[in-house]
Copies of this chain bind each other. A is one copy, B any other.
Amino acid sequence: VTATAHRLRIGEVAELTGLTARTIRYYEEIGLLPASADREQGKHRLYSEDEVERIKEIVRLKELLGLTLEQLSQLLDAESARAELRREWHATEDPGEQRRILTEALRHLGTQLDLVRQRRAEIVRLEAELDERREFLHERLAKLES
């Protein structure tokens, strides 16, 4: 709904997402990212800012959760399912249907949250161990200075 629908080229998208142009093409090649709509063979790929945000999101999930592209694909499929549910939600007035849709969406989110929480717990534990060692060394240093 913005006035300027500026479209970005692959190099700019790479810059903004932290990927390389090659990686973006590769993700398109394996079907992880949708192909730039109605692009003629050999012509430049163009991306909207929404698409860039989407790619950032995908990269974040991959890196933070340490997923393979296969696992990432599955997770994105689950997300599309949620998006589909949103559309269904707007299409129905039946409270029973609406409950089913919400419940389903919550289930998808739950799966994702479980992954993230597990990661966080692991990293917090590692951080605590390192903090403890640092505390120990600091005390030793303090004793030495006194």
Binding site for B on A (CB under 8 A): 60-61, 63-64, 66, 95, 98-99, 102-103, 105-106, 109-110, 112-113, 116-117, 119-120, 122-124, 126-127, 130-131, 133-134, 137-138, 140-141, 144-145
Contact = CB atoms under 8 A, between A and B. Distances in A.
Contacts of A127: 113, 116-117, 120
Tell me which of A126, A130, A131, A133 has the highest count of chain B C-beta atoms within 10 A of its own C-beta. A126
A120 B123 contact: yes
Q: Is the interface of A mostly helix, strand, loop or mixed?
A: helix
A6 to B, nearest CB: 26
A133 B117 contact: no
A63 to B, nearest CB: 6
A109 B130 contact: yes
B144 A106 contact: no
Contact of A103 (B123, B126, B141): B141
Contacts of A116: 123, 126-127, 130
